[in-house]
Each structure stands twice: as C-alpha cells, then as structure tokens.
C-alpha cells in the first residue's frame, strides 16, 4: 500500500526556492520507486514571509508545520532584511520555528566524501575519512536566555545583555540524544564547554559526566571550546560525536562543515521530543548567487534523505538518494562551490537533472 506523508516545504529566501525545487523533484522520483506519496504544502518563512505578511514566521506557517509529518526547510535571510528591527528579522522566524516546534536537538553530520577531498582547504591526510556528528542544543543557551536586550543605564550609557543559561533538564535531554547518537556510531562522545570560565558550562560538564554512568558503552571526554576549535582543524579524525550548547554548536558546526570542502554539501536534522522535525541544509541563503542557477542543491537533497531516514522511517529511500549523490559526484558533476580541475561545471537545475538520471539508473539496478 502506498504510504502518504504530509511534508511542509519552507523554501525561504535567496537560493532557497531553487534548491528546494530540486529536492522536491528528487523526493517525487524516489517516491515513485518506493511507493511513497508526498503531499507537499508550501508555507512562508523568513524574508519571503516578511514581504508578504510583515512577520518572519506567520502563525499559519507554524500551524501548517505542526500538522505535517516533517518539515523541509531551505534557507532564510538576505541583505534586504538585515536592517529591520530584530523582531522582524528573518533569523527571528527561524528561531521561532525551532522554539515553536520544540526542536531542542540539532544533528549536523560532517562527513567527507572521497570524491571531494581535494575541495577541502586542509591536507588530504588530515581530512580523509573524517566522519563527525555535531549534536547542537538548539532551543536554549544564550540564543534564548533572559534577560536580553540593550538597556540604558543611569549614566546614559547603553549596555547590551544576553544570558547563557541551561537547566539540569535541558542539559540532560540533549545529553541523552548525544549519548544515543554516539552509541549508534563509534561510541565516542566529546562534550564541548567553557567550564574553566563559565558557571553554566560547569553545570553542563557535571550533568554530562553524571549521565555517562547510564551509558557505559560510550566513552565520554570533555574539551574547552577554544581547544575544540583548534583540535577540529589540527586532527579532526579524533572526533566521532560532539555535543555542545547552542552558541558553541553554531560556531563549531560551521568549522566542521568546512573540513568537508564545502558547506554546500551538508544536511541537518532538528528534532524535538515528539512532533515533526525540521530538515535543512547547514548553509545559508547565499543572496549573492540567488536566482542565477549557480547554487549547489546537494545539501538540500541530502536533507530530504535525512528526513526520510529520521522522520519517515524510510531508510532504503534515504540510501537511494545518498547513492545518487555519490554517483553524480563520481561522474565528475560539480557546482561552482565544489568545482575542481577536469570536472563538469553544472548549474543548480542541471545538477538536479543529473540526480534524476542517476536515480533512474540506480532503480534499474
Ligand atoms: C544556523 C544559523 C542560524 C543560527 C541563524 C541563521 C539564526 O547560523 O542554523 O547555524 O545561528 O542558529
Ligand atoms: Mg550557523
């Protein structure tokens, strides 16, 4: 019997609509191959939502997302909206979506594909075989802590304030996701904090250490965030799974992504306790190349694969998509961001067509 899934599409801004179109074509194609049917509902977020409704996250979008099985998001933001007050910025829409759906766990894999080793800015021997999963806490920490704001003091001087705060239970729930994730991988978990300076980090470290007793099969280590940044560049293969707070995770996941050559290759999953997850590329909306058919759609396509695996429990269809990505790379197809000598430079749409051909060939066996 055909399985039907309700998927909310949030194409957003910049290159978002172009890469989303490719991912939708790919989903439809694997759907035909695996007898899955998708009911796609498009909704507004970010700058596109600001232009249409004055809000970066209209209530209707949240409702549509809540009523779906999973959410596929492209990217938000652009120069045009950068000067608006914070409540009307595209980023506020994304943060509202994460908070509104309770997506506290953000899984960001950084896996180097053998075909792209030469696209990395680091030496082959440093990056070959890198396979890291960053588990980033996504609805707490300094992104959401109170008090926050810019306040005028008695002297008339202004003071900007944000608060990095974590409770026991917030640390424990992201810790459990991280230990479970590490258990399914190589069984190594590195918790990253700044416990030499920050009280909130000391609590983080204490809770992670306590939690480790429940996961005797996982080897837990701790690093300060500055050292972790250095170690990621020095010898990334020492890492298997990393767990960290919202801000450190934002920074380290970009660094980890770049090890793989291009941030244009990496998907992510944001998951809550229950309800639909959001699947999105790690990269942004790249307004500088928007509308020029130059974007790399592969992170978006791989996000759709992650959605099939984590949200819809369709691992075979997910693997099919991942195989198609490998196949087009094996053929030498490249978008500009991962281009190297002797390869075929393709635009976003042509890369999509090549994926569809690869999917067809894989189905034939
Ligand atoms: C990310 C982005 C977002 C973040 C921005 C766009 C709000 O950088 O998903 O990593 O800081 O979380
Ligand atoms: Mg970021």
What CATH number should be reported for the domain holding residue 360? Answer: 3.40.718.10
Same structural domain for residues 242 and 356? no
Tell me what pLDDT residue 316 has: 97
Of 69, 166, 193, 194, the active-site residue reads 194
User: What atom in ligand 1 is closest to the CA of residue 106?
Assistant: 9
Tell me what pLDDT residue 260 has: 86
Ligand 1: which residue has its CA nearest to atom 7? Answer: 91
Tell me what pLDDT residue 17 has: 98
Cα 31 to ligand 1 centroid, rounded to whole Å: 30
What's the pLDDT tens digit per position in 259-305? 987 788 999 999 999 999 999 999 999 999 999 999 999 999 999 99
Domain assignment present for residue 329? The answer is yes
250 included as an active-site residue: yes
216 is in which domain, residue-wise?
131-258
Q: Ligand 1 site: residues with CB under 6 angstroms?
A: 91, 94-95, 250
342: left (phi over 0), alpha (psi -120 to 50) or beta: left
123 included as an active-site residue: no
Domain assignment present for residue 148? The answer is yes
Please tell me the total count of domains within the chain. Answer: 2
Q: pTM for the whole thing?
A: 0.93
Domain assignment present for residue 178? The answer is yes
Last residue of a domain, one of 214, 236, 258: 258
Same structural domain for residues 193 and 289? no
Same structural domain for residues 282 and 181? no
In this structure, the strands spanning 241-244 and 267-271 are: unpaired
Last residue of a domain, one of 240, 258, 276: 258
In this structure, the strands spanning 36-42 and 219-224 are: unpaired
Ligand 1: which residue has its CA nearest to atom 5? Answer: 91
Segments of the chain scoring below 50 in pLDDT: none
Of 5, 13, 69, 143, the active-site residue reads 143
Tell me what pLDDT residue 120 has: 86
Tell me what pLDDT residue 277 has: 97
Cα 250 to ligand 2 centroid, rounded to whole Å: 5
Same structural domain for residues 277 and 196? no
Same structural domain for residues 249 and 289? no
Same structural domain for residues 225 and 323? no
Domain assignment present for residue 44? The answer is yes
Same structural domain for residues 326 and 249? no
Same structural domain for residues 148 and 65? no
Domain assignment present for residue 115? The answer is no
Quote the Cα angle for 137-205-234, to 5°. Answer: 75
Of 240, 250, 333, 337, the active-site residue reads 250
Tell me what pLDDT residue 39 has: 98
Of 35, 82, 168, 226, the active-site residue reads 226
Ligand 1: which residue has its CA nearest to atom 2? Answer: 250
Tell me what pLDDT residue 119 has: 83
Residues whose CB is less than 8 angstroms from the CB of residue 227 and which lie 6 or more positions away in sequence, other chains included: none
Cα 29 to ligand 1 centroid, rounded to whole Å: 30
DSSP string, 255-302: HHHHHTS-GGG-EEEEE-SSS--EEEESS---GGGTTTT----HHHHH
Residues 180, 165: Cα–Cα separation, whole Å: 24
User: What atom in ligand 1 is closest to the CA of residue 253?
Assistant: 10
Tell me what pLDDT residue 258 has: 87
| Ligand nearest to C-alpha 76 | 1
Cα 358 to ligand 2 centroid, rounded to whole Å: 31
Tell me what pLDDT residue 268 has: 95
Cα 284 to ligand 2 centroid, rounded to whole Å: 8
Last residue of a domain, one of 258, 279, 309: 258
Tell me what pLDDT residue 145 has: 97
């Amino acid at each position: 019997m055909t399985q039907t899934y309700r998927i909310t599409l949030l194409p957003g801004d910049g290159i978002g609509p172009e890469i989303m179109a490719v991912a939708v074509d790919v989903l439809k194609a694997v759907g035909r191959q695996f007898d899955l049917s998708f009911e796609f509902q498009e909704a507004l977020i970010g700058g596109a939502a600001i232009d249409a409704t004055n809000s970066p996250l209209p209530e209707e979008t949240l409702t549509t997302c809540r009523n779906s099985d999973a959410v596929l998001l492209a990217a938000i933001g652009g120069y045009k909206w950068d000067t608006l007050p914070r409540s009307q910025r595209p980023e506020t829409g994304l943060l509202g979506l994460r908070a509104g759906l309770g997506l506290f766990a953000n899984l960001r894999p950084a896996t180097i594909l053998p075909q792209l080793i030469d696209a990395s800015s680091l030496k082959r021997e440093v990056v070959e075989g890198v396979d890291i999963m960053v588990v980033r806490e996504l609805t707490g920490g300094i992104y959401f802590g109170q008090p926050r704001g810019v306040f005028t003091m008695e002297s008339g001087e202004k003071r900007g304030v944000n608060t990095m705060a974590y409770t026991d239970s917030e640390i424990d729930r992201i810790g459990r996701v991280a230990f479970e994730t590490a258990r399914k991988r190589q069984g190594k978990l590195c918790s990253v904090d700044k416990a030499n300076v920050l009280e909130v980090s000391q609590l983080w470290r204490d809770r992670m250490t306590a939690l480790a007793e429940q996961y005797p099969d996982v080897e837990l280590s701790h690093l300060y965030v500055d050292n972790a940044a250095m170690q990621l560049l020095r010898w990334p293969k020492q890492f298997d799974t990393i767990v960290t707070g919202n801000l450190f995770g934002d920074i380290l996941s970009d660094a980890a992504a770049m090890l793989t050559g291009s941030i244009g290759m990496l998907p992510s999953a944001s998951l809550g306790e229950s309800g639909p997850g959001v699947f999105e590329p790690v990269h942004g909306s790249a307004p500088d190349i928007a509308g020029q058919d130059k974007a790399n759609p592969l992170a978006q396509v791989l996000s759709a694969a992650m959605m099939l695996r984590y949200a819809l429990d369709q691992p075979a269809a997910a693997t099919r998509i991942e195989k198609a990505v490998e196949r087009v790379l094996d053929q030498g197809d490249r978008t500009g961001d991962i281009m190297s000598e002797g390869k075929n430079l393709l635009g976003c749409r042509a890369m999509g067509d090549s994926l569809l051909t690869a999917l067809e060939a894989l189905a034939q066996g």
